[in-house]
Every structure is written in structure tokens, then in C-alpha cells.
Chain A
Amino acid sequence: MLRRAAYGQPSARPPPLYTGNTVQPMPSISPQRTTHPALRLPPATMLALLLGISLATLLLACASGSVALGPGQIWQALQGQGDALATTLLQLRLERALTAWITGAALALAGLLMQSLLRNPLADPYVMGVSGGASVGALLALWLGLAVWQVDLAAVAGALALSGVLFWLARRDFGRSSGTVLLLLTGALLSTACGAVISLLLTIAQDNQLRGMVFWLVGDISGTPLRPWPWLVLLPAMLLAWWQAPAINLLALHGDHAATLGVPLAGLRRLLLLLSASLTATAVSQGGSIGFVGLMVPHACRLVCGPSLRLLIPASILSGASLLVLADTLARTVVAPMQLPVGILTALLGVPVLFWQLSRTRRRLA
């Protein structure tokens, strides 16, 4: 009887769905999408807010330290009219803050792209072992007693070497169905191998080298000068990812089946791994293996902004940058004159924020 109704034959009271010939009201689709229902902000407002936060953290970084600088002094010094001390302090602090900014931004974007590639919100930039390769390179250089710039160079070389091995081992997995599982396992194995080499280097290192090695492994940007090339990696990576955002969304939504929607699967996966690996190598060469940012910043942004990449890419970049600037400012001020490795602070700052978000999510689900 029910099935008869489905063919439009008379029935006492047709359910509302059987409207084969009538026009149903169109759902209201607003072209202006908002962010997550919990926040209801238009994307532009959201980004403006994050940009404001980011500038505020930079300002805070410039103001804080052994000698505090007021906003007026910072403004004067920026225009080249301040006294010598303020100008010098501002330059030192701003350079360090910008180094933190770019490192945090690169880590957050690398994590976001890795999570999209592996379709796993718990992936991070280090899951493929790229940072392991960088750590082996850097620790080897520290063990040999090389200069700071050589250590950074060795880190980049290690990251590149590991990426090369990863690409070669997984060369046929990118276009294959379920290829990301093979890719992930390959990366995890390489990462494990690097872990063993790192432990070996820590074991055979002399006592006076250990402190530098541990700082490098925890993540620390105190000795890093402001360099131009990380910006030259981040900018094209961001633009490429933003341009490919619709395809990355499909990959995150459908995995292998994104191919039936016209996504060139192998090419896109290669691009994502390439971008993520170069961003990770960049960040790691700046500040060592700073944890938490690459894993949790994209995750936290997704909770607030929703999973769509067009908004998530700039939001993650700004949030990651702000978090690292804030963490680094605290790292050099909370127990001054002693400096803490910033990797400790990112986790200590980030975990409570995530707990707060989780409790909000729990309330929404309840």
C-alpha cells in the first residue's frame, strides 16, 4: 500500500515526500557562509579577528622583556625616532618575534596539509619522519661540533634527504586506492628509524653537547636569526594550497573516490606531501622539533572555523603564528634571565585552550 503511494496513486493522506510533480520550496542557501555554528562569524570577520590577535602578539613580544617598552616608545622606534636602547631592543625583539611568527605559521600549515592528505585529524607534520630526518642531521652536526648555521643547514639537508627517500619508496602509492595507508606506514617506519639514530647520537654525545641537543629536540628559536627564505617557502605554499583548496576539500571528504569527481589524485597527493615536507623542513631548521603547533592548531581552528580549506588555510597560518610568538615571548620572560625552550611553552599554552574547546564541544554534543 505504501509503495502504491510512491507512484502517485491516490492514497488517503500522502506523506509530504511524495511530491513527484509539485515544486518543493527551495532551501535558503546564503552565498555568505558563516564559520562554525558555535561562533556564527562571517569568514572575513574571523580572519580580521585572527589578524588582529596576531598583530597584538607581535606588539606584546616587542613590549615585553627585561626592559619593558610602551606603545609610544615602540611607535617612535619604528619610525626611527626613538632612543638608541629602545631602537636596539625593538630590533632584537621584533626579529625574534618574526622568526617565531614564520615558524609557527609554517608548522600550522604543514600540519593542516598533512591532516588533509592522510584524512586524519590527528596527523602532524612530524608523522612522516621529515622532522626525524632534520633532527638526525642537526644532532649529527652538533655532535661534530659545527657552527650554528651549519647545524641549521644539516637540519635542512636531513629533512630533504628523508623526503627524497620517502618519495622514492612511496612513488607508486600516490595514485593507488588506499595508497595513503602505505604512505603513512612508510613515513612511520622512516620516523622510527630516525628515532633510533637520534637515541644513538644522544647516547654517544659528550655531556657538554647534550644540553644543546635536548634544546634542539624540544624546540627552541632563541639563537635563530631572521632569514628571508622561510617567507619564500611559506608564501608560495600558502597560495598553492589556497588555489587547490576545493580539490583538497574533496580529498578530505572522499579519499580515493575524489578521483571520480575529477581530482587528479596522484598529483594532488604528491603536491600536498611536497608542500608539507618543505614547510616542515623550513620550520624545523628554524626552531628544532617544536611540538603541538602542527598537530593542534589546525585541529583547534577546525573546531572554530569548520573544515573548509579556503578559510582554514589562512586561519591556521595566523593562529599558529600567534601561538608561537606568544609562547616564545613567555619562554624568554617568565623565568628571565633564564630562557626556556619554546616547545615546552607551546604545549603548556595550547593544552588548556584545547581542553576548553573540548568541553564546549562536549556541551554541544550533550
Chain B
Amino acid sequence: MMLQADKLSILQGQRHLLHQLGWQVRAGEVWWLAGRNGCGKSTLLATLAGLRAPAQGSISLCGQPLGSAAPRLRAQRLALLPQASHDAFDYAVIDAVAAARYPWPDDGHNPGRIAAALNAFDLARLAERPLQALSGGERQRVALASVMAQDAPLLLLDEPTNSLDLAHQAALQVQIRRWQADGKAVVVVSHDLQFAPAIASHALLLDGAGGHSQHTLAQLDATHLAQVLGYPLTRITHAGHPCFLPGHTT
């Protein structure tokens, strides 16, 4: 069991974002976290990453309560891709990715892992480039490569396709499948109704008022999702994968 949440409740001010969530994420699963803006997706990821405390309930990571693990040990087990990053200083791409090896003091500067992470997101050419000279999509690829270099078995990705062009979105899909095949667990927050269903094995839907529902992708039908997202949807199969299109079939 990679991640287990019991009776987890999250409050934003007085508002219940999430009420009594019981949730288990196992190795090899890819969870799609879906819901409308402000429904608590990122807040849930931040709570799972230990950045904020839940109002109620408990979270355990690899069978150990989240709060009890030392920061470094937690970072060996869980990596978070934040939604946005702000660069105050002009680190080079390779330094930013290499810095993500910090959780592994004995294997810190592992050139193979750093190179693999740079390659997976097509960054070899940009390795010496300063962060502030990158485009939005290039910066997002650096963040993804850093998460990969951290080499944790549980990955929490907040809108990983942000700013990525189509080819790099496809490369990210390939990479997430590889992680899945390697026995990692991935939780993806995404508004992309083509990208997310193509990679996910399960979905956790949040309605923003405390309610939540869990589905396998095979069971997830358009009405479930449409209800949560507040817009009519049609489920189709495209290129061998499920995909949701806005609107009714006519």
C-alpha cells in the first residue's frame, strides 16, 4: 500500500473541501484527480505531501503515518510537482534537476539518474541554460525532470501538462506509463479530458463541497464526470484509450 487516507477531511476556512475520504493508492496505479476550480485538488495534494495539516483523519505513506517520517525519508517516498514555480535566482537547468537528488544523501550526485531525467523530458540541449531564460513549457519540463530525478515511488503531479506542447504531452504520457510499469504510483490533477483518461487507471472525483467518488477508468462514465465538472460530456474511445468530449452526441 503506497498511500492510505482514512476519514480524511480538509477545510478551507469554514468550508469543507473534502469530507471523510477513505482512499488507497497501490503500486502501479495511476489516479486522475478531477473536479472544478477551487474544489480542493491542489489542497489535497499539498495535504498528502505534508505541506498542510488535514482538519481530521490520517494519512499513511508506505504503511507509516505521514507526520512521523523524517523529512528526508518522506522525500524518498513521495515527490510533488507543484502547479507553478517562481524562480528568484538563475540556477542552470542541470543544477535545478541535480538538486532534486537531495533526499538521497548517499547517492546524491548520481549522473545516470540526472541524465535519464533530463533525457526523458528532452532537456539535454538545455542543460546549461539558466532557468530564467526558459519558456513556460521548458520550465515545466525542468520541474517534471526534477520530480523524476527525486526517484520516489509515489508521484503527485499537479497539472503536469501545463504549458507543454503536444509532442511533450505525448512524451509525458509515455513516461507516466513507464513509471506505472516500474511499480510507481502516480496521482495526476488534470483538466485535460484527453490526456488524463488516456493514462489513468482510476479516478477520484471531488465536488468541492466535501463529496467525493472513486471509479476505475473502465467504470467512469460521462454522467459521473459531467456532474462533477458541471458540463455535459460524451465518452468516446480514441486511439485505444477513453476520452471525454464536451457536449452531447447529436
In the assembled complex, which residues on chain A have CB atoms less than 8 Å from the CB atom of B239? 3-4, 7
Tell whether B22 is near chain A: CB-to-CB under 8 Å. Answer: no
Interface residues of B, count at CB 8 A: 55
Residue ranges of A at the interface with B (Cβ–Cβ < 8 Å): 2-7, 15, 17-18, 20, 24-27, 29, 31, 33, 37, 119-121, 177, 246-247, 249-250, 252-257, 259-265, 302, 306-308
Distance to closest chain B CB from A39 (angstroms): 13
Tell whether B86 is near chain A: CB-to-CB under 8 Å. Answer: yes
Distance to closest chain B CB from A309 (angstroms): 10
Docked CA distance A5–B239 (Å) = 10
In the assembled complex, which residues on chain B have CB atoms less than 8 Å from the CB atom of A260? 49-51, 74-75, 78-80
In the assembled complex, which residues on chain B have CB atoms less than 8 Å from the CB atom of A37? 128
Q: Given known contacts A257-B82, A260-B80, A261-B102, is B127 in contact with A27 (CB within 8 Å)?
A: yes
Tell whether B99 is near chain A: CB-to-CB under 8 Å. Answer: yes
Docked CA distance A36–B80 (Å) = 29
Residues 77-94 (chain B) with a chain A CB within 8 angstroms: 78-80, 82, 85-92, 94
Residues 107-125 (chain B) with a chain A CB within 8 angstroms: 108-109, 111, 114-115, 118-119, 122-125
Tell me whether B173 and A24 are in contact (CB under 8 A). Answer: no
Return 18 A-B CB contacts under 8 Å, by A number: A3-B166, A5-B170, A17-B122, A31-B111, A119-B86, A249-B95, A250-B99, A253-B91, A259-B51, A260-B78, A260-B80, A261-B100, A261-B103, A262-B76, A262-B102, A306-B90, A308-B91, A308-B95
Docked CA distance A4–B240 (Å) = 9
Docked CA distance A252–B102 (Å) = 14
Docked CA distance A15–B169 (Å) = 13
Tell me whether B91 and A177 are in contact (CB under 8 A). Answer: no
| Beta-carbon nearest neighbor of A118 in chain B | B88
Residue ranges of B at the interface with A (Cβ–Cβ < 8 Å): 46, 49-52, 71-76, 78-80, 82, 85-92, 94-96, 99-100, 102-103, 108-109, 111, 114-115, 118-119, 122-125, 127-128, 150, 166-168, 170-171, 173-174, 194, 238-240
In the assembled complex, which residues on chain A have CB atoms less than 8 Å from the CB atom of B51? 177, 256-257, 259-260
Q: How many A-B residue pairs have CB under 8 A?
A: 127
Tell me whether A253 and B96 are in contact (CB under 8 A). Answer: yes
Tell me whether A254 and B85 are in contact (CB under 8 A). Answer: yes
Partner of A6 from B50, B76, B170 at Cβ < 8 Å: B170
Tell me whether B103 and A262 are in contact (CB under 8 A). Answer: yes
Partner of A261 from B86, B123, B127, B150 at Cβ < 8 Å: B150
Distance to closest chain B CB from A243 (angstroms): 12
Distance to closest chain A CB from B145 (angstroms): 11
| Beta-carbon nearest neighbor of A365 in chain B | B133
In the assembled complex, which residues on chain A have CB atoms less than 8 Å from the CB atom of B108? 246
In the assembled complex, which residues on chain A have CB atoms less than 8 Å from the CB atom of B119? 24, 26-27
Q: Which 6 A-B pairs have the closest CB atoms?
A: A262-B75, A6-B170, A27-B124, A262-B72, A307-B89, A262-B103
In the assembled complex, which residues on chain B have CB atoms less than 8 Å from the CB atom of A24? 119, 124
In the assembled complex, which residues on chain A have CB atoms less than 8 Å from the CB atom of B86? 119, 255
Tell me whether B80 and A257 are in contact (CB under 8 A). Answer: yes
Distance to closest chain B CB from A178 (angstroms): 11
In the assembled complex, which residues on chain B have CB atoms less than 8 Å from the CB atom of A120? 88
| Beta-carbon nearest neighbor of B74 in chain A | A262
In the assembled complex, which residues on chain A have CB atoms less than 8 Å from the CB atom of B99? 246, 249-250, 253, 261
Tell me whether B174 and A250 are in contact (CB under 8 A). Answer: no
Q: Given known contacts A260-B75, A261-B150, A262-B102, is B89 in contact with A17 (CB within 8 Å)?
A: no
In the assembled complex, which residues on chain A have CB atoms less than 8 Å from the CB atom of B166? 2-3
| Beta-carbon nearest neighbor of B45 in chain A | A260
Distance to closest chain B CB from A17 (angstroms): 5
Partner of B92 from A27, A265, A306 at Cβ < 8 Å: A306
Partner of B114 from A29, A177, A255 at Cβ < 8 Å: A29
Docked CA distance A24–B174 (Å) = 14
Docked CA distance A261–B105 (Å) = 12
